[in-house]
Chains A and B, each alone.
Chain A
Amino acid sequence: MLSHLPILQVIIPLLAAPACLLLDRGRIAWAFSCAVAIVSLAISLSLLHQVSGAGPLSYELGGWDAPWGIEYRIDLLSAYVLLVVNGVATLVLVAARSSVAAEIDEAKQPLFYVLYMLCLAGLLGIIATGDIFNVFVFLEISSLATYALIALGRDRRALWAAYQYLIVGTIGATFILVGIGFLYSLTGTLNMADLAQRLPALAESASVYAAFAFLVVGVCLKLALFPLHLWLPNAYAYAPSIVTAFLAATATKVAVYLLLRFHFSVFGASFTDPVLPLEGIFLVLGIAGVFVASIVAIFEDNIKRLFAYSSVAQIGYMVIGMGIGSATGVQATLLHLFNHALMKGALFLALAAVVYRLGGANFSHIRGLGRTMPLTMAAIVVAGLSLVGVPGTVGFITKWYLVMAAINGSHWLLVPAILLGSLLALVYVWRIVEAAYFSEPVAGTETCREAPLGLLLAMWLLVIANVYFGLDTRLPVAASDGAVRLLMGGAG
């Protein structure tokens, strides 16, 4: 049984999706998918435990040997990302019940859970597989589910946002497919480990560079790396609140994982050095993303959009870590992947609670809410401080590693850029604090009550995780440290 965990990790949610379809009630579908998510989370915990003890796990699908058959390969990096995705997906799902009931038609609720499970299965598949074509398949599974999930939003603009994302996402997926095609025609293999072995012999050929370029640009579209981020704010703002929380905390993380995988494991970190200063490009785009998106966020009125832009900025930090390229830098990226999932999960769940009670999340809605929804607003404050990077929260841990990497790598200009970015985050977070705590409520919101229990529970678990992992950093630091060694070792 234990040896089948890598495939069970993917197949259980994948099979749960059609099973959900058979459950015609929203509540039952919710309970069922919660149970599935918890099982899935347990599997990922067990996988992480196995991998950190015994090294990478390889699972051959259907018993076919690796280069020919499809291999599922769980190493420390994938186990770590699996845990992040599963953890947040489970918590968001626990919170989902009341918010989904309020925002989505009764008839469509089971479908929502079907899509959620499909999307989760797709994301997990991308991480678990060791086969590059399989990556594309799962990417499409998760993407198609995502488009539909976004389109479920109550606002009619959700359709437009989903369409926008569909176009961009399809371009991204096509690029990735083209890249995979190039690689296959050059090497005759689709297995990532195999590719990594064969590529050095072919390096410095234009076709390999083209394949790499297609893959990286394709992934960066999914990642919403500035300036390819234009789909993201609308998608996050108009999707159902729960979907926003889920996507913000997981989908972009998986794209970061893919980028790391391609860049470090498959091609090798120094692959592009002869033709292109890729790390420099990452640095520039990362910094530009941090600044542009943060500044836009400062002037947003819709708080969901505000945090969507903040997500673009935070993705900038992850890319900066890769751009620095040192072990500490990549570790900062991995830590931020974990940390950002915790922050944005908590923030978007809190916003889901606000939307649930008030029907929207603009600044006019949250005025004076510190009094009427104290727990929800306190969650936004703590998670917001984490976003800023105040010590004692996970955000600080990221900042510490990033700045340390910048100093060690003598990127002196990067240090003020990173810290200035935090201060911009402070500005937009503090706009919310002032509105919630030091403004008089708008008429009609005085009687508003605290969020439903399920939402509060999940939200506060994430908030506590923000503080807990900001103080007890052993798990993410050890896991990311091991993952980095794996990535960098593969590269060297």
Chain B
Amino acid sequence: MNAQLALQLTLVAPLAGALLIALTGKWPNLRESVTLATSVLLFALVLQVFAAMGVNHDPRELHIDLFELLPGITIALHSEPLSILFAMVASGLWIVTSVYSIGYMRTNNEKHQTRFYTCFAVAIFGAMGVAFAANLFTLFLFYEVLTLSTYPLVAHKGDDNARRGARIYLGVLLATSIGLFLPAMIWTYAVAGTLDFRPGGILDGNIAGAAATGLLMLYLFGIGKAAVMPVHKWLPAAMVAPTPVSALLHAVAVVKAGVFTMAKVVIYIFGLDFLADVPNEMWAVYIAGFTIVSASVVALRQTNIKRMLAYSTVSQLSYIVMAVVVLTPYSEMGAIIHIVAHAVAKITLFFAAGAIYVASKKTEIAQLDGIGYRMPITMAAFTVAALSMIGVPPTGGFVSKWYMIAGAFQLDSYFVLAVLATSTALNAAYFLPIVFRAFFRKEAGDGNLDHGEAPVPMVAAICVTAVLTLLVFFFNGPLVDFEQTIIGGFQ
């Protein structure tokens, strides 16, 4: 298949899948087969695009203008190493999540499953669009598709609590994107006359001084999906969603779309060299650093497993944002690898939380005493992922942290080093006690004692993502080689 076609099909496939899922809603087995088939097909298509890219790293090689929306503004797709990476992570983990969802949704007897799977596929469509957008406008379009299609998933339960959470979710995400991201984009277009993602950026020479700082801040807070404080509130609110949603969307697709957008803006809109000259650019580093530490502190005080994971996500996302705005080649690499490393590890953690809920209905950290004996596989996977969060070898989190620290040294920024060190300690402080509780404490007498592992599809999914967490450590070489073309190699 030619790569151009494959690239377009990465958008068509999930959308067609969504339609088929909606149509086959009456036959659950058929419906789930459609979900699985679509996810596998999508991953294959992304690999096809990747294969075409592997031959030639030139981003102009694969560029499709779909149509002109406004004079000078085109809806266009392209593929470059960063988009491939995000698309692969989102589509690959969609397969795993689909398997997991089937176990989760059926065991829990959730209602509205057709709506659930349909919106899920539409959300993946949005994520693919974000990944392959060739300009900021196209990206913004799909960014909003992602926001709107995930709203029904967050509000899934339909009770007051879910509606309140979903309202915060949608409110914060749309308010930031329409209120800050959109004007930032229009401003960019007004000064630069284009919104294309170009190596080296499009803003150099078009904006300067405090205005450029202002624009950077608009992007930093406007890309609400990156959850930099204080626009992070939506992420804990979204935890009312069913766990597969929290796992794929709020640990991978949606939040990674946020940091991915931030990376795209920094690398291809501002350009690393230009952004380094923007006055007070370090503010962005400080804001992200503050988010890392304070979100970790908040996570430390959570009692609910999913909420703790949500705050941990807020913190980990800001690792990526901070690494991106540190602007040194090693830190950019750290950011890119952390997109993958955090994705596989955090999805494992959420899967584990969902498995615990399905098997035992437990949702609080305090209830986890001794659960490692009842659910050894789940908790072993949890442990691997937790180690990756802390950044201990042999997990993916170590690799990204390595590059981030190297990047901090390139900049000689003791602030960044201090943040990384503090956060590592804090991560250890809230993840290790859970592992300790699960394996080294006696089970409390109350609650449902009579359970084992969660259903097979869920456990299988957990194992896959845990193994992936380890693989990122062992096979980071090809990843680094592939991605370093973005930043033009290491100086």
Task: Say whether A associates with B.
Answer: yes
- A residues with CB within 8 A of B: 385, 388-392, 397, 399-400, 403-404, 407-408, 415-416, 419-420, 422-423, 426, 430, 434, 437-438, 471-474, 477
Q: When the two chains form their complex, are residues B186 and A400 in contact, meaning their CB atoms are under 8 A apart?
A: yes
Q: Are B163 and A399 in contact (CB under 8 A)?
A: no
Instruction: Contact check, B70 vs A473: say whether CB atoms are below 8 A apart.
Output: yes
B23 touches A (CB below 8 Å): no
A438, B155: Cβ atoms closer than 8 Å: yes
- Which of B163, B167, B178 is the most central at the interface, judged by chain A CB atoms within 10 Å of its CB? B178
Among B137-145, B294-302, B434-442, which stretch is in contact with chain A? B137-145
Interface centre among A388, A391, A399, A430 (most CB of B within 10 A): A391
Closest B residue to A328 by beta carbon equals B190
**B182 touching A403, Cβ below 8 Å:** yes
Say whether, besides A407-B190, A419-B183, A472-B67, A437 and B152 are in contact (CB < 8 Å).
yes
Determine if B170 and A390 form an interchain contact, defined as CB atoms under 8 angstroms apart. no
For B482, list chain A residues within 8 Å (CB): none
Q: Of A391, A403, A423, which contacts B140 at CB under 8 A?
A: A391
Binding site for A on B (CB under 8 A): 67-71, 75, 137, 140-141, 144-145, 148, 152, 155, 158, 162-163, 166-167, 170-171, 174-175, 178-179, 182-183, 186-187, 189-190
* Chain B positions within 8 Å of A389 at CB level: 178
A416 CA to B67 CA, complexed, in Å: 30
> CB distance B187 to A423 under 8 Å?
no
Shortest CB-to-CB span from A435 to chain B, Å, is 10
Q: Tell me if B190 and A423 are in contact (CB < 8 A).
A: no
Q: Are A473 and B190 in contact (CB under 8 A)?
A: no
Is B163 within 8 A of A420, CB to CB?
Answer: no
How far is the CB of B177 from the nearest CB of chain A, in Å? Answer: 9
Q: What residue in chain A is nearest B159 (Cβ atoms)?
A: A438
With contacts A403-B186, A404-B190 known, what are 4 further pairs, Cβ within 8 A?
A: A389-B178, A390-B174, A400-B186, A408-B190
Asked whether, in the complex, the Cβ of A473 is within 8 Å of the Cβ of B144, the reply is: no
Chosen A-B contacts, 26 in total, with CB atoms closer than 8 Å, are A388-B178, A389-B178, A392-B144, A392-B145, A397-B70, A400-B70, A400-B186, A403-B182, A403-B183, A404-B186, A404-B190, A407-B187, A415-B183, A416-B183, A419-B178, A419-B182, A423-B179, A426-B171, A426-B175, A426-B178, A430-B167, A434-B167, A437-B155, A438-B158, A438-B163, A471-B67
Q: Known contacts being A416-B179, A477-B70, is A434 close to B186, with CB within 8 Å?
A: no
Cβ contacts under 8 Å, B145 to chain A: 392
List the A side residues contacting B152 at CB < 8 Å. 437
Closest residue of chain B to A470, judged by CB?
B69
Given contacts A400-B186, A437-B152, is CB(A391)–CB(B174) below 8 Å? Answer: no
The residues of A that contact B70 with a CB separation of less than 8 Å are 397, 400, 473, 477
Contact between B183 and A390, CB atoms less than 8 A apart: no
Q: Which residue of B lies closest to A389 (CB)?
A: B178
Contacts of A423 in B (CB 8 A): 174-175, 178-179
Q: Closest B residue to A427 by CB, please name it.
A: B171
B170 CB contact (under 8 Å) in A400, A419, A430, A473: A430
What is the chain B residue whose CB lies nearest that of A431? B167
Chain A residues positioned under 8 Å from B140 (CB to CB): 391
